[in-house]
Amino acid sequence: MPAALHHFPVPAPTTCASCGQVLGSTYYVLIDRPERYCPTCIHTRPRCDTCGAPLTNQAWQLHDGRQQCNQCHQVAIYDLTLARQLFLETVQTLRERQGLVLRVGVDFRLVDAPTMRDLRQYGMDEAGTAPTPTRHERTLGLYLRQGRVRAIFLLHGLPRLIFRTTVAHEYAHAWQGEHCPLLTDLVLREGFAEWVAYRHLVRLGAHRAAARMLQGNHPYRPMLEMVLQLEAQLGTDGLMQYIRTAE
Ligand SMILES: [Zn+2]
Ligand SMILES: [Zn+2]
Ligand SMILES: [Zn+2]
């Protein structure tokens, strides 16, 4: 017989998650997170370079100067072997479950923030157009192709789910490079890459992280919504067919 389940509502925190002071009538929250912050911390504390939360006194300094909150740190991928394994797992799922097969493989590199900035700059000079960063302020991942070398670069120390989301997004660009080289429409390119990442999260059962992609004010969100609408109209196979022939 199943045990009786008692649901106690979780009381809303009454203290600032950053400084611990008792909150007044004005406080701030971040999207889809339970923490509350006092106005002083929101306006004056340095933020986590990964999730944007105001840092507590327990912040982690990465060797390249980035600062990470404890929540991000707990699930961050710092180890190259682990990163490579997670990359391969992600790619395998994208290939087998989402049908994103590459004829030529794509290499994987784990880099720090200054290297990522250089790569982004280099990519711009090389291609004449900006390669597409996965997140608007900080580039978390990048797909670059130079001659026969094709590689996905990921920022060292990303939390596990952000790592997988970013790999999925960049892998989608690698797939586009092979299967729809004529596709220049930014909305379709980025919207499709976000859609691949979104579907990947759903497949992993990471529904909250997937839902988070449809909230907030990320510039790619409307593009993702547009591609989801296309999928609703055409079906998933229809969407894939549409993307292959779009320009
Ligand atoms: Zn505070
Ligand atoms: Zn964080
Ligand atoms: Zn992109």
Measure 61 CA to ligand 3 centroid, in angstroms. Answer: 27
Is the confidence at residue 244, as pLDDT, over 60?
yes
For the CA of 187, the nearest ligand = 3
Q: Output the CA torsion sign for 63, 65, 68, 70.
A: positive
- Between 12 and 25, the more confident residue is 25
Measure 53 CA to ligand 2 centroid, in angstroms. Answer: 6
- Residues in Cβ contact with 141 at an 8 Å cutoff, skipping those fewer than 6 apart: 133, 134, 152, 153, 154, 155, 166, 167, 169, 170
Reported as a pLDDT band with limits 50, 70 and 90, residue 100 is very high
Residue whose structure tokens are 């220049």? 184
Is the confidence at residue 68, as pLDDT, over 70?
yes
pLDDT score at 5: 52
The least confident of 107-116, 131-140, 145-154, 183-192 is: 131-140
Measure 15 CA to ligand 1 centroid, in angstroms. Answer: 8
The alpha carbon torsion through 185, 127, 192, 32 (nearest 10 deg) reads -110
For the CA of 131, the nearest ligand = 3
- Between 138 and 171, the more confident residue is 171
Structure tokens at 146: 């130079």
Reported as a pLDDT band with limits 50, 70 and 90, residue 52 is confident
Reported as a pLDDT band with limits 50, 70 and 90, residue 137 is low
Alpha carbons 106 and 19: distance in angstroms, whole number: 44
